[in-house]
């Protein structure tokens, strides 16, 4: 019994590995507000270059921090197109996060929001490095119609079956942590701003992630779709993603 107890305490406990304990922590303190305020200070000092200001958030969680950052992007850069890429494996968190974004498409219409369940190393490029997984990539684009947050909310809520299919998870055989069943990318933008976003995406080709929340790794990928063109690079350039 003593040996078993000693072995159980040999590995330091990390409450981030236990969802219930983590949620109890973040919902009873102001951690997310503090993180968002600190990150927003960095946003205020950015100098965006065409084709867009780009944010990368990993992991997104319930998008509390990301939405606060998007609000401040509009505060400091109200006319600059925004590409916000968020990595999240949890179906529950993706649903909670999407509940917060309809108003953001109303205030900052030139926004492309991308949510993916890819690994930390693959998420910035929106493409798995494994050729077999890349071939089976589940890419879904949503062109929001209308001009009000209520209209956008209804269309986003209707994405339930898309999320159920794309965000299925299974335990990793190596770590036991959840990993995706199928690699998925969800791209959301306003249909009435598609022309602007597509035009802006052709202005420049240098990939320079303006701000990264949490950890991220650089990568290159086959470019396709508005989300990819807003973050495209030439063949002789590599993606650049730097953490704080």
Does 214 score more than 80 pLDDT?
no
CA distances from 71 to 43, 75, 119, 179 (A): 11, 6, 26, 30
Give the model's pLDDT for residue 20. 76
Question: What is the spatial distance between Cα 160 and Cα 167, in angstroms, rounded to a whole number?
Answer: 10
For the stretch 164-207, pLDDT in tens is 999 999 998 888 888 999 999 999 999 999 988 875 544 333 33
Contact 66, 55 (CB under 8 A): yes
The residues spanned by each domain of the chain are: 34-230
Best mean pLDDT range from 39-48, 97-106, 119-128, 194-203: 97-106
Percent pLDDT > 70 in the chain is 74
Question: What is the spatial distance between Cα 17 and Cα 21, in angstroms, rounded to a whole number?
Answer: 8
SS3 assignment, position 77: coil
As given in the structure block, the two tokens for residue 170 are: 């299974």
Question: What is the spatial distance between Cα 36 and Cα 54, in angstroms, rounded to a whole number?
Answer: 16
């Amino acid at each position: 019994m003593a040996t078993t107890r000693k072995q159980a305490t040999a590995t330091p406990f990390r409450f981030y590995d236990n969802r219930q304990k983590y949620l109890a922590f973040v919902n009873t303190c102001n951690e997310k507000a503090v993180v968002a305020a600190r990150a927003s200070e960095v946003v205020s000092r950015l100098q965006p270059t065409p084709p867009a200001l780009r944010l990368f958030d990993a992991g997104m969680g319930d998008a509390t921090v990301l939405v606060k950052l998007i609000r401040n992007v509009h505060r400091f850069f109200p006319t600059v197109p925004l590409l916000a890429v968020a990595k999240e494996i949890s179906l529950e968190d993706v649903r909670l996060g999407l509940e917060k974004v309809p108003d953001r498409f109303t205030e900052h219409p030139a926004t492309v929001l991308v949510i993916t369940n890819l690994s930390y190393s693959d998420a910035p490029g929106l493409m798995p490095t494994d050729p077999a997984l890349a071939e089976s990539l589940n890419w879904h684009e949503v062109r929001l119609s209308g001009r009000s947050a209520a209209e956008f909310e209804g269309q986003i809520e209707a994405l339930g079956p898309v999320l159920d299919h794309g965000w299925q998870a299974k335990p990793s055989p190596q770590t036991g942590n959840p990993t995706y069943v199928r690699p998925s990318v969800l791209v959301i933008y306003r249909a009435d701003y598609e022309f602007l976003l597509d035009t802006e995406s052709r202005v420049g080709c240098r990939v320079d992630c303006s701000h990264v929340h949490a950890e991220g790794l650089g990568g290159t990928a086959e470019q396709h779709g508005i989300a990819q063109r807003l973050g495209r690079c030439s063949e002789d350039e590599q993606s650049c993603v730097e953490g704080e």
